[in-house]
Amino acid sequence: MHGYELKAAYESDLAAGTTLNAGQVYQTLDRLLRDGLVTVRVVEQSVRPDRKVYTITDAGRASLAEWLASPDASPPAVRDEMLIKLLVARRLSRAGVGDRPPAACRGETSDGARCGAAGGGPGSTSSAEKFAGPNEVLRNERRACMARLHEINAALHPRQAKDPAGGDVRTRLLLELAALRLEAQVKWLDRCEAILRGEKP
């Protein structure tokens, strides 16, 4: 396989819609060559310039096998922005400048106007002088997650689809990954709510 073939395969299969720059490809190949994981052989062509054809070595095969077999259970980044937002909101609300009670939401019960429309950001409702409290932060995040989940579901099962977008395996795997991450996020939000509620009094 030569460099261009590798680039094309990566772009079509592993990360559709992205482009890989050629320099990066060859840089990587050089490193593999240096480590003895591949060998290179020059093929002369009649019309086009000569090509370098790379072949995997036994050491390279072993290394690939090891990589594939090793799990990737490293936790996602703990420095999550949502976590920071939540902690800031908590601090503000404790300081008395950001505690819009959830009861304010319940009051407005007329259809659609309840607690702001879907996707409404912090500060889009009343109490302009105060910041969103932790509950509102949580709610907004949950709404956003749910809206996104709804879209993913729709993408996986479009209404009158004979051939859903999830028809191609790569997209489906991607959508499932996103859906489960979102699901986990919502569950985490639930836990946050429970924990924050527990420390209230």
Partner 1 sequence: MTTDPIPVIRGSALTRTFGDGAAAVTAVSEVDIEVQRGEFVAVMGPSGCGKSTLLHLLAGLDPPTSGRVMVDGRDLADMDDDTLTLLRRRRIGFVFQAFNLLDVLTARENVALPLELDGRRPADADARAVAVLERVGLSDRLDHTPRDLSGGEQQRVALARALVMEPLVLMADEPTGNLDTATGQAITDLLRSLVDDAGQTVLMVTHNPRHASSADRILHMRDGRLVDEQRMESPRAAEALIAELQG
> What distance in Å separates the CA atoms of residue 45 and residue 95, rounded to the nearest whole number?
74
- Summarize the chain as % helix, strand, coil (round to 5): 55, 5, 35
Q: Who contacts 147 (Cβ-Cβ below 8 Å, separation ≥6)?
A: 118, 119
CB of 151 to partner 1, least distance (A): 4
Residues 141-170 as x/- pattern, contact with partner 1 by CB under 8 A? -xx-xxx-xxxxxxx-xxx-----x-----
Please report, for the chain, how many H helices and E strands are present, in that order: 7, 2
- When asked if residue 80 is in the footprint of partner 1 (CB under 8 A), the reply is no
- When asked if residue 61 is in the footprint of partner 1 (CB under 8 A), the reply is no
**Toward partner 1, which CB reaches closer, 61 or 106?**
106
- When asked if residue 124 is in the footprint of partner 1 (CB under 8 A), the reply is no
* Six token digits for residue 123: 């500060």
Q: Identify the three-state secondary structure at position 118.
A: coil
What is the contact surface with partner 1 in residues (CB under 8 A)? 15-18, 102, 105-106, 109, 111-112, 114-115, 117-119, 139, 142-143, 145-147, 149-155, 157-159, 165, 171, 174-175, 178-180, 182-183, 186-187, 190, 194
